[in-house]
Amino acid sequence: MPIVVAGSINVDLIQSVEALPRPGETILALASARLPGGKGANQAVAAARAGAAVRMIGAVGDDESGAWMVAQLAAADVTTKDIATIEGALTGAAYIAVDRSGENQIIVASGANTSLSPAMVGAVADTEIRVAQLEVPVATVATFFAAPGDGQTRRVLNAAPALPEAISLFALTDILIVNQHELAVFLDLDRPPSTPQEALAARALICRENQLIVVTLGASGAIAVRADSAVHVPAFPVVPLDAIGAGDCFVGALCAMLDQAGEAGVTDEGLLTFASAAAALCTQKPGAIPAMPLRSEIEAFIATHVTGSRPI
């Protein structure tokens, strides 16, 4: 059964800079690149490279960028027949600055992504794992998740960017994945949690039986929180070159692991370890889609790097 990703497709216009610009400042880029991206497309490719059969539902404009993005997805073995081309619309574009430490700032011009309507995501009854993010309309994600499934259906929401109105989707979600900044928005915290213990506050978002909440904490790793248990997996020790798409890589790899485990299941620790290793590898190459690792690379990385985990 394929993983179905409903989400955004963007062209990433990346400027490498010495330091991210301050308000009012003009700076010169050290290098520029045009690479395929978008949270939905990134997650679809990450899952495909991690070994899953993936179908993408999305929208591009009828411009050169749209045709290029569909070709990029197809080249990564993602099924693209449900990507609509919207007449007169521009393909989504993300304006990205990356500094020497790999930190980035992103502004997204949504373009055709806003045209992904509820009617375009209705036909998903035969799918086991549905994946969505928040660069497409919340009403579309709601329809995608509310469509009937079978006993194996899993709805995975990466609630990024953190739109407060997306809280209405949480009751439709089996696995919610957020980073510490997004968690702070959804919990209305004064500052993002920085330790696994602080991130346990995520438990307050649990609103249905067997729900899993995953919080990624950058250099502090990731936690998996359930109503009655929680586990922390530390980050793999890598020096990031470029963190663009690393969160999406985490989500896509986690879904691929979930899919491949099938009915035998996988522990929360196993899910986080695989996803964290994939994300660590993603930070070692420039851009998002070109940096998504193969399953064999993830497995080899895990075999040679120790991370460990512990209940919290």
The residues binding ligand RIB (CB under 6 A) are 8, 10, 12, 37-39, 42, 94, 106, 108, 135, 244-245, 247-248, 288
Longest dimension (CA), the chain: 55
From first CA to last CA, the distance across the chain in angstroms is 34
CA distance 168 to 252: 23
Burial class (CB in 10 A: 0-12, 13-18, 19+), 125: exposed
CA distance 300 to 312: 28
Taking the least distance from each CB to ligand RIB, the nearer of 8 and 153 is 8
* DSSP strand pairing (31-37 vs 54-61): unpaired
Taking the least distance from each CB to ligand RIB, the nearer of 57 and 231 is 57
In Å, what is the CA distance from 311 to each residue of 17, 218, 221, 268?
A: 40, 19, 13, 11
CA distance 72 to 74: 6
Q: Which residue is nearest to ligand RIB (CB)?
A: 37
Taking the least distance from each CB to ligand RIB, the nearer of 182 and 268 is 182
Taking the least distance from each CB to ligand RIB, the nearer of 92 and 234 is 92
How far apart are CB 12 and ligand RIB at their closest, in Å?
Answer: 5
Torsion of CA 106, 182, 242, 68, to 10 degrees: -50
Cis-peptide, bond into residue 240, ω within 30° of zero: no
How far apart are CB 143 and ligand RIB at their closest, in Å?
Answer: 21
Question: By the 8 A CB rule, do 310 and 66 touch?
Answer: no
CA distance 158 to 161: 9
Taking the least distance from each CB to ligand RIB, the nearer of 230 and 281 is 281
How far apart are CB 258 and ligand RIB at their closest, in Å?
Answer: 20
CA distance 185 to 248: 19
Instruction: Report, as residue numbers or ranges, the catalytic residues.
Output: 248
Taking the least distance from each CB to ligand RIB, the nearer of 94 and 205 is 94
